[in-house]
Amino acid sequence: MVFGKPEELHVESEQPQHSQLASLTDHVAVHTETFDISDAALGNDLSAKYFRNPRFIGLLVGAVVTNNAYIIPYIYAANATPEIVAEFGESIAINWIPLAYNLCYSVSLLLFGRLADIFGRRYFVIGANALAVLGCIVSGTAHSARTIVGGQVLTGLAAAVQSSFTIWLAER
């Protein structure tokens, strides 16, 4: 290490000059004429009735419903906490209602993504939707705060697959 006055230190920098910067910015520009993008990738080969196709409409409705269904049980249960306390009384389990959902969602997001890649996504999506319905039934018919926590566990496990559904659609 060399110590000395700042005037004595000489460091050669390799910073480009102004003319070099101008040539770099010209080089970075993307020229579309050099890429051969197929009509299928641009969507130019779609028929006029593509967006009115029942399969496309069903897929879109399914994606919207599934994407919204994973967060609604959490929102409803978290917002209904004062009513739950009034109904069942103060309990330590009340604190676990939103926490159980988030914890199970976080853990299952890591597990189910990889498992669905290995074993197939279709049955994971169907199973997750069935599990979410079961969790909502358990939470909705609960007679104690602990049962609501159990329902939130089921919906939290299902939410990981439900939230990944739109990502999987983009891969197809």
81: in domain: yes
Whole-prediction pTM value? Answer: 0.66
101: in domain: yes
Axis-axis angle for helices 54-69, 145-171 (nearest 10): 140
Q: Domain of 96?
A: 67-171
120: in domain: yes
13: in domain: no
- Sequential DSSP letters for 97-129: HHHHHHHHHHHHHHHHHHHHHHH-HHHHHHHHH
How far is the C-alpha of 168 from the C-alpha of 161, rounded, in Å? Answer: 10
Amino acid found at 98: P
In the chain, the N- to C-terminal Cα span, in Å, equals 57
Tens of pLDDT, residues 115-150: 888 888 888 888 988 999 999 999 999 999 899 999
113: in domain: yes
97: in domain: yes
Tens of pLDDT, residues 71-107: 888 888 888 888 888 888 888 888 898 899 999 999 9
Please tell me the total count of domains within the chain: 1
DSSP assigned state of 169: H
Helix (H, G, I), strand (E, B) or coil at 56: helix
Tens of pLDDT, residues 29-73: 555 556 677 777 777 777 888 888 898 898 888 888 887 888 888
* Residue found under tokens 């926490």: 99
